[in-house]
Amino acid sequence: MVGTIWAIIGASLAIIGGGIGSSIGITYAARTASGVLSEDPEKFGRLLVLAVLPGTQGIYGFITAILVGVFFGLLGGGTPDISAAKGIAIFMATLPVSVTTLVSGIYQGLTAASGVLLVAKKPEEAGKAFVLPALVETYAIFALVITILFLSALR
Amino acid sequence: MAVAKINKVELIASISDKEKIIKALEKVSILEIQTKEETLSPEKVKTHIHNKINHLTEKLSRVNFLLRLVNQISAPKQSLIDSFVPPKLIVKKKDFETILEGYPLDKIYKEMEALDVKFHQSRHNFIEADNNANLLNPWKKLDFNPNETETQKAQIFFATIPDFREEEFIDVLEEECPLCYSQVINRANGLSYLVVYVHKENLDVFNNLIRRYEFILISLPKVIGTVSKTIDDLKKKALHYKEEEGKVINRIKKINRYYSKLVISRSFLENELHKANVENNLTHTSDVFVVEGFIKAADYKKLRSAVAEQTNKYALTFEDVKAKDKPPVILENPRYLKPLEAVTALYGMPSYDELDPTPYLAPFFLIAFGLAIGDVIYGLALIGLSWLLTKSKRFSPNTKVFLGLFIYGGIAATFFGVITGSWLTFPHESLPRALQSIVLFDPIAQPALFLVITLLFGLVQIYLGVILKLVGIARDKSVSKALQSQLPILLLIPGVAILIAGFLGFPLSPIVYNIAVYLALAGILGVIIFSEYEAKSIVGRIGGGLYNLYSMTSYLGDTISYGRIMALGLATFLIGSTINTMFLGNVLFQSLLVKIVLGISLVPILHLLNLAVNTISAFVHPARLQYVEFFSKFFKGGGSRFQPIALKTDNIIIE
């Protein structure tokens, strides 16, 4: 049972970390976008894309939680019995995602907010404004790669 | 499959033909006119052009003022789709050119300018009256005029303090200011409203108290008669100003019917202004003018006949350009590669003498895109939706070419969906046997294999990058220099890659292992000895070589970076399959009917959202792989995009 609790803590923290990172990140980008839209409502489509970019971190947290659930039987009926050692291992395997997504979500939001200003001044450069925040997301993706590999090995 | 050959053009013609020639050039849209810091033109011509620019600028600013007014005050309602992709107005060429004659712009402007002033006045008056009414409201019970604050012996003050400090205030006043008297008029919203009567002998004491305890005194707005009557008056006034504002807004809304005319006028005036600015950049004498610019060499005849159609008095010369002239760059690829040019253009154009990376990045970008989505139904949906969008009139021709990228991406996604067995992200077991049998690998069951595939894919692209660098050096400098600097890297990469695979547990036969060791050693020695072929001393050469060897560690990071494709692919699948399990499995609902209803209503929408979010990632991340990991191996860039003089219209389509 102790192991199960550790596994649930891991899954929950992944969702919490990604969720916090994404919501703060989206807030930064969306707030700046609202300012631009007050002057220039026609840019809504392009700015919306920038505002949702930091949302991927929350998705990575979600994927991690789902993987823990699927791999270790937390989503079906009944509670599985996971040994304490394995539970702690699962918890550790989720850490890359829960910590990295929290930080990268916030910083991607800041980068996307600058991107919003770039689109405001030079709409034709929108493509560049989309690519630059993706540089920040790289590390959340690497974290997800490692978490998936570890979880898959522990299965 | 390259950067198009450019010619330099010089056109001399009579000033009397200038307007129609520039119009003809705008129409054929094949000439980029060179801009200059300063031009030689007679004062008379300059003044004429400046007057034209001033006139157009004024008209444009009037149109912009009116459009801003429409957007701020009386914006017509927009549908959700309109706010994503503003619809385009369709206008005939003739109507476009005569748009300013079709309605009284200056009259409307004058009328609206006056109304705008009125609108702001009413708004200001309303806010002022409303604020004053609100400020006075708590003091309603005062039975004297609060503007008359001085009697012969005393002075009257008004204070608003937080109610928890009320007692403190009264106590302090009683103890330290014997000739003061305070009265609580009202308590509301956590504040106490007090009147303080202070004998003039005690004024200093009172002021000190106020400062020391940081109490805040306020002065009340102008009151005529009693406070409560003034409040009533102010409220009536506020209402009146609000009504007045409404009336003004209604009058302003009348310009809504000119909205499309204004949008078209804006486009027209912007283009006219652009042409006038181009004119300002040309060299003139009192009789002729000179156009200097760049043109795609193949368009030479088109330009000649476009000018000849207008006049027979002209001189037109063409000349080859060199890279040092910094000519603009046109990418020239077969039609099917055009959508991929957008990926290159997003990064920036190659320089004139460089190779166009588009055909080389195309397969890699599309494979990465396909792997990141990796689902048959998602791929087909992407193809269908993108194709539908290309039929819409809302998009410019350029955007439609760009949409082709998503059709290709959809095809790639469909392909990878087939070989990974992903059909609307349903689990493998539920697929028909025929579909299961064509599955090459299952990303969910074998994530490590998926990762290795993406890394190998990355390695191949990076290898191609090094080969392109080799070809580039061979072309610009010499074959021997190209081989010296790049061949060692080409030996080193496979050698080290195989050794790493062995180290990670991949079974290697002794022959393969030996070959890998020799390749790696030859590569390392080659990099140290040959890569700094331009160094003057042997120490510089070896030192530089060692440094180059050290910087090759970045190749490892570059390769690992391709692992993101695996995470993106799994993300698409896992979110999709969560949607399926939650709403179509037995997790939330048991009833078959509920599942059928959800299956045709909510589930498709959620899958579309999943597709939308992952399409953004599947574009942005593969693009980054091209720019950061691939281009860094061979591509310099820095060319400027060819921008011919042409009619530019953002929100309208001219038929």
**Cα–Cα distance measured from residue B178 to residue A1, given in angstroms and rounded to the nearest whole number:** 75
**Cα dihedral sign, B458-B459-B464-B467:** positive
- Helix residue spans in B358-506 (DSSP H): 358-373, 376-391, 397-420, 433-437, 447-476, 479-503
From B581, which residue of chain A is nearest by alpha-carbon distance?
A75
A 10 A CB-CB count for B586 gives 10
Tell me, yes or no, if B567 comes closer than 8 A to chain A by beta carbon: yes
- Between the alpha carbon of residue B588 and those of residues A66, B152, B425, B580, the distances in Å are 15, 82, 19, 11
**Cα dihedral sign, B597-B599-B600-B603:** positive
Show the domain range for A72.
Answer: 2-154
pLDDT of B504 reads 80
**Cα–Cα distance measured from residue B333 to residue B496, given in angstroms and rounded to the nearest whole number:** 36
Confidence of residue B212 (pLDDT cuts 50, 70, 90): confident
Is 70 exceeded by the pLDDT of residue B106?
yes
pLDDT of B512 reads 94
Contacts 24+ apart (CB under 8 A), B220-224: B220/B135, B220/B136, B220/B139, B220/B146, B220/B147, B220/B158, B221/B132, B221/B135, B221/B136, B222/B132, B222/B147, B223/B136, B223/B145, B223/B146, B223/B147
Interchain CB contacts (distance < 8 Å): A and B: 84
Place of tokens 């000519």: B327
Tell me, yes or no, if B266 comes closer than 8 A to chain A by beta carbon: no
Structure tokens at B106: 């200056």
Name the residue facing B447 among A41, A62, A149 (closest C-beta). A149
Domains defined for chain B, CATH in brackets: 1-36+282-328 (3.30.70.120), 135-237 (3.30.70.100), 335-634 (no CATH)
**Cα dihedral sign, B458-B459-B460-B464:** positive
Q: First and final CA of chain A: distance in angstroms?
A: 17
pLDDT tens for A57-98 read 998 998 899 889 888 988 766 678 899 999 999 999 999 999
- Between the alpha carbon of residue B340 and those of residues B364, B521, B553, B637, B638, the distances in Å are 11, 38, 30, 16, 19
- Between the alpha carbon of residue B430 and those of residues A63, A97, B137, B434, the distances in Å are 21, 30, 72, 12
- Beta strands at B314-320 and B6-14: parallel, antiparallel or unpaired: antiparallel
Orientation of helix B564-584 relative to helix A56-71, angle to 10°: 70
Is 60 exceeded by the pLDDT of residue B1?
no
pLDDT of B234 reads 93
**Cα–Cα distance measured from residue B341 to residue B545, given in angstroms and rounded to the nearest whole number:** 36
pLDDT averaged over every residue in chain B: 90
Enter the DSSP assignment of B601. T
From A131, which residue of chain B is nearest by alpha-carbon distance?
B620
- Please calculate the CA angle A142-A146-A149 and round it to the nearest 5 degrees: 140
**Cα dihedral sign, B277-B278-B283-B285:** negative
Half-sphere exposure of B331 (CA within 13 A, CB side): 25
Residues in contact with A5: Cβ distance below 8 Å, sequence separation at least 6, in sequence order: A87
Among B51-55, B161-165, B312-316, the range scoring the smallest mean pLDDT is: B161-165
Place of tokens 């040994």: A83
pLDDT of B429 reads 86
A 10 A CB-CB count for B180 gives 21
A 10 A CB-CB count for B116 gives 18
Q: Work out the minimum CA distance from B1 to partner chain A, whole angstroms.
A: 23
**Cα–Cα distance measured from residue B395 to residue B86, given in angstroms and rounded to the nearest whole number:** 9
Among A151-155, B379-383, B513-517, the range scoring the smallest mean pLDDT is: A151-155
User: Do the beta carbons of residue B9 and residue B295 sit within 8 Å?
Assistant: yes
What does the pLDDT average to over B186-207? 88
Q: Of the segments A40-44, A97-101, B164-168, B248-252, which one has the largest average pLDDT value?
A: A97-101
Q: B296 forms bridges with which residues in the sheet?
A: B6
Residue from B77, B68, B63, B107 nearest B264 by CA: B63
**Cα–Cα distance measured from residue A49 to residue B493, given in angstroms and rounded to the nearest whole number:** 38
- Beta strands at B652-654 and B180-188: parallel, antiparallel or unpaired: unpaired
Tell me, yes or no, if B553 comes closer than 8 A to chain A by beta carbon: no
Interface test with A, best of B578, B627, B641 (most A CBs within 10 A): B578
Helix (H, G, I), strand (E, B) or coil at B14: strand
pLDDT of B415 reads 97
**Cα dihedral sign, A62-A67-A73-A79:** negative
Question: Which contiguous run of DSSP H or E holds residue B104?
Answer: none
**Phi, psi at B446, each rounded to 5°:** -125, 65
Structure tokens at B536: 């003057």
Domain count, chain A: 1
ipTM of the complex as predicted: 0.78
B288: buried, middle or exposed (CB in 10 Å: 19+, 13-18, 0-12)? middle
Is 70 exceeded by the pLDDT of residue B377?
yes
Are B623 and A131 inside 8 Å of each other by CB?
yes
Place of tokens 């588009």: B358
**Cα–Cα distance measured from residue B69 to residue B63, given in angstroms and rounded to the nearest whole number:** 10
Half-sphere exposure of B597 (CA within 13 A, CB side): 6
Half-sphere exposure of B412 (CA within 13 A, CB side): 22
From B444, which residue of chain A is nearest by alpha-carbon distance?
A152
Structure tokens at B601: 């209503």
Confidence of residue B486 (pLDDT cuts 50, 70, 90): very high
Name the residue facing B563 among A44, A66, A145 (closest C-beta). A145
pLDDT averaged over every residue in chain A: 90
pLDDT of B308 reads 93
What does the pLDDT average to over B459-467? 97
Cβ-Cβ contacts under 8 Å, A62 against chain B: 575, 578
Confidence of residue B41 (pLDDT cuts 50, 70, 90): confident
- More confident position, B214 or B232: B232
Interface test with A, best of B624, B631, B643 (most A CBs within 10 A): B624
User: Do the beta carbons of residue A101 and residue A60 sit within 8 Å?
Assistant: yes
Name the residue facing A144 among B75, B567, B578 (closest C-beta). B567
Provide the whole-model pTM: 0.82
Tell me, yes or no, if B579 comes closer than 8 A to chain A by beta carbon: no
- Between the alpha carbon of residue B98 and those of residues B103, B268, B568, the distances in Å are 10, 9, 52
Tell me, yes or no, if A53 comes closer than 8 A to chain B by beta carbon: yes
**Phi, psi at B224, each rounded to 5°:** -115, 120
Type of residue numbered B377: I
Interface test with B, best of A26, A63, A128 (most B CBs within 10 A): A63
Q: Work out the minimum CA distance from B614 to partner chain A, whole angstroms.
A: 9
pLDDT of B208 reads 87
Is 90 exceeded by the pLDDT of residue A140?
yes
Structure tokens at B218: 């306020």
What does the pLDDT average to over B417-432? 92
Confidence of residue B203 (pLDDT cuts 50, 70, 90): confident
Are A75 and B620 inside 8 Å of each other by CB?
no
Structure tokens at B625: 């792989």
B403: buried, middle or exposed (CB in 10 Å: 19+, 13-18, 0-12)? buried
Are A41 and B613 inside 8 Å of each other by CB?
no
Confidence of residue B334 (pLDDT cuts 50, 70, 90): very high
Are B85 and A45 inside 8 Å of each other by CB?
yes
A 10 A CB-CB count for B278 gives 18
Are B616 and A130 inside 8 Å of each other by CB?
yes
User: Do the beta carbons of residue B83 and residue A45 sit within 8 Å?
Assistant: yes
**Phi, psi at B635, each rounded to 5°:** -100, 130
pLDDT tens for B184-195 read 889 988 888 989
pLDDT tens for B508-557 read 899 999 999 999 999 999 999 998 888 888 899 999 999 999 888 889 88
Confidence of residue B77 (pLDDT cuts 50, 70, 90): confident
Instruction: Report B:307-346 residues touching A (Cβ under 8 A).
Output: 342, 346
Type of residue numbered A84: A
pLDDT tens for A97-128 read 999 999 999 999 999 999 999 999 988 788 78
Are B578 and A66 inside 8 Å of each other by CB?
yes
Place of tokens 């300063």: B38
Are A134 and B624 inside 8 Å of each other by CB?
yes
- Helix residue spans in B86-202 (DSSP H): 93-97, 105-136, 166-176
pLDDT tens for B2-39 read 889 999 999 999 999 998 999 999 999 999 998 777 77
Structure tokens at A76: 């079906």
Are B621 and A127 inside 8 Å of each other by CB?
no
Name the residue facing B564 among A55, A127, A141 (closest C-beta). A141
Is 60 exceeded by the pLDDT of residue B452?
yes
- The CATH number for A69's domain is 1.20.120.610
Enter the DSSP assignment of B148. -
pLDDT of B417 reads 96
User: Do the beta carbons of residue B603 and residue B584 sit within 8 Å?
Assistant: yes
Residues in contact with B295: Cβ distance below 8 Å, sequence separation at least 6, in sequence order: B6, B7, B9, B30, B31, B32, B303, B318
**Phi, psi at B401, each rounded to 5°:** -60, -40
- Between the alpha carbon of residue A127 and those of residues A130, B220, B395, the distances in Å are 5, 56, 17
**Phi, psi at B398, each rounded to 5°:** -60, -45
Residues in contact with B384: Cβ distance below 8 Å, sequence separation at least 6, in sequence order: B410
**Cα–Cα distance measured from residue B56 to residue B58, given in angstroms and rounded to the nearest whole number:** 5
Structure tokens at B385: 């939706």
User: Do the beta carbons of residue B654 and residue B96 sit within 8 Å?
Assistant: yes
Tell me, yes or no, if B401 comes closer than 8 A to chain A by beta carbon: no
A 10 A CB-CB count for B637 gives 15
pLDDT of B74 reads 67
